[in-house]
Amino acid sequence: EAAVTQSPRSKVAVTGGKVTLSCHQTNNHDYMYWYRQDTGHGLRLIHYSYVADSTEKGDIPDGYKASRPSQENFSLILELASLSQTAVYFCASSRTGGDTQYFGPGTRLLVL
């Protein structure tokens, strides 16, 4: 079965601080994604990647950076965390761009 793990599972950060969310997949999938979920907005795509060492902007990339150092790992970086970035963040992987996405359990981020 597909396996996507995220760390940390929850985090409290201070405004202006740097936050790094990590994602690891053992599916041998080329595509990985970062979403944020807020009440009333569903899942919104922040960044995605289809090959190691390359990332693409999603629908809401402002304020976020991404890093894909290997096929298995994909990180989301908030250089200067803001209150508006309080949300639940999900990582996902898929074999191809339009294929089934397998999601991690999520990271709950609270920025104070």
Interface with other proteins (CB under 8 A): 4, 31, 33, 35, 40-45, 48, 50, 56, 58, 90, 92, 97-98, 100-106
Phi-psi region of 83 (alpha: psi -120 to 50; beta: other; left: phi over 0): alpha
Backbone CA torsion sign across 5, 74, 87, 111 = positive
The percent of the chain in helix, strand and coil, each rounded to the nearest 5, is 5, 55, 45
Integer angstrom CA distances of residue 3 from 6, 13, 23, 85 = 10, 27, 11, 26
